[in-house]
Amino acid sequence: MLALGKLLELTLAGREPAEKTQLTVDGVRMRWLAEGALEVRPPEARDNGTDLLLSAGIHGNETAPIELLDTLIHAIARGELKPRARILFLFGNPEAMRRGERYVEQDVNRLFNGRHEHSGGSEALRACELERLAASFFNIPGRYRLHYDLHTAIRGSRIEQFALYPWKEGRAHSRRELARLRTAGMEAVLLQNKASIVFSAYTYDKLDAEAFTLELGKARPFGQNQQVNLDKLKSCLEHLIAGTNADQPADLDGLQLFSVAREVIKHSDAFRLHLPADIENFTELEKGYVLAEDLADSRWVIEEEGARIIFPNPNVKNGLRAGILIVPATEESLA
């Protein structure tokens, strides 16, 4: 196997490869761009015009998707998986990955769309570098751009695998990509309704990629992801890479759609979230339930029919989102 196929090993060791560019026996070029960043380019005659960005490890302790990307990189380096798409593999937060922690000082996935410019430290610099790498990769006009940012969640979930679809004023949702997500094993998609500061929102808004954050189960340490079944996603990514994904009808049957009703923002240290510590994502909340309280007697009371909570986290920094209230949506709500 080519040395550049060991991107994860290099990243966890904090080493640069001796050779920055290598070719497989089939003429696929693998090029190391920066720590945790590998570009894969097929021979020109086999290039199908797709640019695929696959990122994981934006949170360093979310290891199942990191291991999935490692498997794909190994297969390409051995010549077992023959790309027809250009691919950029990114391991987002190498130092946090080495420590086995979500982040070191601040959450990288809250530093995109220019947010890093108002912050400091190594993780703000990394967010800036990731934006630069993505912008450079998606700079060729006329190509199909797709980004999957792969994550696992802090907590369990009533719906284990789901996607978040970013929002941009006037931009329509892609039924083709929604159908592909269903094929990839996603059980639900959350349609967002405002601009965001996460990585997929940056590539969607600023770089015109179809982009999604994929949540793939619960975060566990390296080597302990046997309970996370990513077989459908792995098969989908292999077909995307090899260009063997046949056109399919945009059938969304079985895919649950949700929309954002409200975000719960933590304004102060007085913030209290009235949920059990082990509550799962997509837990339903009854109307009238007092979800959270903060300064000046501010309260979040459930008013929506069928409301559910995702990503509840009272330990975020002041000013950040401590949870999202979502409600069921229909295909008619697709832009």
Residue numbers annotated as active site: 215
State CA 298 to chain mean position distance.
Answer: 32
Residue 253: Cβ-neighbour burial (10 angstroms; 0-12, 13-18, 19+): exposed
Report the run of H or E that residue 65 belongs to, with start and end: helix 63-77
239 belongs to an annotated ligand binding site = no
Phi/psi of residue 25, nearest 5 degrees: -65, -20
Q: CA torsion sign, 276 to 281 to 284 to 285?
A: positive
59 belongs to an annotated ligand binding site = yes
Token pair for residue 255?
A: 């895919």
Residues in the chain: 335
Residue 14 neighbours by CB distance under 10 Å: 10
DSSP 3-state of 335 = coil
Per-residue buried b or exposed e for 17-27, using 16+ beta carbons within 10 Å of the residue's own CB? beeeebebeee
- How far from 14 is each of 8, 9, 57, 166, 321, CA to CA, in Å? 10, 9, 15, 32, 32
The angle, 0 to 180 degrees and rounded to 10, between the axes of the packed helices 175-183 and 231-242 is 130
Report the run of H or E that residue 34 belongs to, with start and end: strand 29-34
The amino acid that residue 38 corresponds to is L
Per-residue buried b or exposed e for 102-121, using 16+ beta carbons within 10 Å of the residue's own CB? bbbebbbbbbbbebbeeeee
The amino acid that residue 33 corresponds to is L
Q: Which DSSP string corresponds to 208-260?
A: --EEEEEEEEE---TT--TT---HHHHHHHHHHHHT---------TT-EEEEE
Q: Mark the binding-site residues, compressed into ranges.
A: 59, 62, 151
* Binding-site residue set for Zn(2+): 59, 62, 151
